Amino acid sequence: MKLKTMLLATALVGALAGMAEAQTAVKIGVLNDRSGVYADLSGEGSVIAARMAIEDFKAADRGLKVEVVSADHQNKPDIGASIARKWYDQDGVDAIFDVPTSSVALAVNQVTREKNKIFIDSGAGSTDLTGPQCSPNTIHWTYDTYALAKGTGGAMVKKGGDSWFFITADYAFGHSLEQNTADVVKKAGGKVLGTIRHPFPGSDFSSFLLQAQASKAKVIGLANAGGDTINTIKQAAEFGVTQGGQNLAGLLIFITDVHALGLKAAQGLVLTESFYWDRDDASRAFSKRFAEKSGGKMPSMVHAGVYSGVLHYLKAIEAAKSKDAGPVMAKMKELPTDDPLFGKGQVRADGRKIHDMYLFEVKKPEESKAAWDYYKLLATIPAAEAFRPLNEGGCPLVKG
């Protein structure tokens, strides 16, 4: 009896293995920050999201054998580039996902183009990925600094926040974040009263906040990221900036940052994201499943973007009947995107993925009814307006 079962099992396994050989093997690399400032908003969560997408796509039933590998780029472009190179050269990775931190994303963008593979970015913000450095091998999925500036800057001015003071991290990324937002603010009829550039990374922002307070600007725009933003917001609460009638606008801040800050310090902060777990039934259902796998943490928009990107990528492989970069990229740009998290959208010629963006305000502690109940929706920025117009990015792939 036992022997028979075993024989049967062996035969079954053999048969399965035979089937597997007939399948197309696809290898996905999730490259992100697993130990640094962006580990919470990307990290292992993005791997979970990628696996969920493979599961939901029912890849195995459709003849795709999808394997996921992951690595930590430590937010260093050199490490990111060399992992990408190794993955493509040696490990047979077909596509790289996530990659927060603009500097690393730009480096991976280069390598991917050189090796003619596919790169779908979710975590990074730099508009250069779909601008001067755009590549036929890259899609920028979840958000970019233009969309954040447009959402936060535009909407704040509309709400009456028409005078701004910027606290900017003194490096290229901070400058571009500030520039993007200042442009939007001025276009919408607001004015910029002043700017202060703080060393990066910094720990004490009180001095800059004091100068921002003295400027009497209605909105203080935080053109910094990660730990710097968290510290600025925390110290702003301490110096009574928001109680004094000024609004803080985070130009690059995620739900994981709000979680780290706590509502007491973060309340009233206005920010733009492309996904919020509690926005509708579909996002809640996804997030509940996600939370079960991630030890109770809700997904960030970056996680959601990885899920949505992997789903679309697998669809394109199925449609193209190939996993080569050329046909798959063509299919991804040809097929409209549609998934429960971002709804309907499309991938533009420059690699920009288009969908709605949302302006949120962080709730007061007494308004929050459950764990992770952090945002209330202020406005929806429709897909067509949310992102930089196709012809303004300076992407060589865009003709005319």
Integer CA distances (angstroms), 271 to 143, 258, 282, 377, in order: 13, 10, 22, 10
C-alpha dist (Å) from residue 7 to 3, 12, 16, 284:
6, 9, 14, 45
Nearer to other proteins, 257 or 339 (CB): 257
Phi, psi of 190 (to 5 degrees): -90, 175
Could you tell me the CA-to-CA distances from 29 to 7, 71, 232, 301, 399 in Å, in that order? 36, 8, 34, 19, 31
Q: Which residue among 164, 173, 277, 374 contacts other proteins (CB under 8 A)?
A: 173
Binding mask 9-48 for other proteins (x = CB under 8 A): -------------------------xxxx-xx--------
Q: Which residue has the tokens 């190179």?
A: 85
- State which of residues 60, 188, 196, 397 lies at the interface with other proteins (CB under 8 A): 196
Which of 86, 115, 279, 289 lies at the binding interface for other proteins (CB under 8 A)?
86
Exactly one of 1, 203, 295, 336 binds other proteins (CB under 8 A); which one?
Answer: 203
Per CB under 8 A, does 230 bind other proteins? yes
Residue 124 CB, shortest distance to other proteins, in Å, is 11
| DSSP β-ladder status, 219-223 and 191-198 | unpaired
Contact 63, 272 (CB under 8 A): no
**C-alpha of 230 from chain center:** 18
Count residues binding other proteins (CB under 8 A): 65
The smaller minimum CB distance to other proteins, of residues 31 and 357, is found at 31
Q: Using the rule CB under 8 A, is 170 a contact of other proteins?
A: yes
Closer to other proteins by CB, 155 or 266: give it: 266
CA dist 363 and 236 (Å) reads 17
Cis peptide before 201 (omega within 30 of 0): yes
What is the Cα–Cα distance from 100 to 227, expressed in whole angstroms?
15
Residue 5 lies near other proteins (rule: CB under 8 A): no
Q: Which of 16, 20, 55, 207 binds other proteins (CB under 8 A)?
A: 207
Q: Determine if 200 is a binding residue for other proteins (CB under 8 A).
A: yes
In the complex, least distance from residue 88 CB atom to other proteins, rounded to whole angstroms: 11
Q: Which is nearer to other proteins, 110 or 308 (CB)?
A: 110
Which residues have CB under 8 Å from 44's CB, separation 6+? 34, 70, 294
Apex 259 CA angle, 200 and 36, nearest 5: 45
Taking CB under 8 A as the rule, does residue 394 contact other proteins? no
Residue among 54 and 71 whose Cβ is closer to other proteins: 71
Decide if 215 contacts 194 (C-beta within 8 A): yes
Choose between 40 and 361: whose C-beta lies nearer to other proteins. Answer: 40
Binding mask 119-158 for other proteins (x = CB under 8 A): -------x--------------------------------
181 residue type, one letter: T
Out of 28, 64, 68, 81, the residue judged to bind other proteins by CB under 8 A = 81
Give, as one character, the DSSP assignment of residue 174.
H
**Residue 270 bridge partners (DSSP):** 249, 361
Which of residues 163 and 300 has its CB atom nearest to other proteins in the complex? 300
Check residue 398 for interaction with other proteins (CB under 8 A).
Answer: no
> Is residue 116 involved in binding other proteins (CB under 8 A)?
no
Q: How far is the CB of 173 from other proteins (least distance, A)?
A: 6
Total Cβ atoms within 10 A of residue 254 = 24
Give, for 271, the enclosing helix (H) or strand (E).
Answer: strand 270-273
Shortest distance, position 70 Cβ to other proteins, whole Å: 7
C-beta of 115 vs 284, nearer to other proteins: 115
User: Residue 372: which of 264, 244, 262 has the closest Cα?
Assistant: 262
With CB under 8 A as the contact rule, the residue among 15, 25, 67, 238 that binds other proteins is: 238
Instruction: Map tokens 């067509």 to a residue.
Output: 384
What sign results for the dihedral spanned by CA atoms 319, 321, 325, 327? negative
Residues that bind other proteins (CB under 8 A): 34-37, 39-40, 70-72, 74, 76-79, 81-83, 85-86, 89-90, 101-103, 106-107, 110, 126, 170-173, 196-204, 206-208, 210-211, 213-214, 226-227, 230-231, 234-235, 238-240, 256-257, 259-262, 264-265
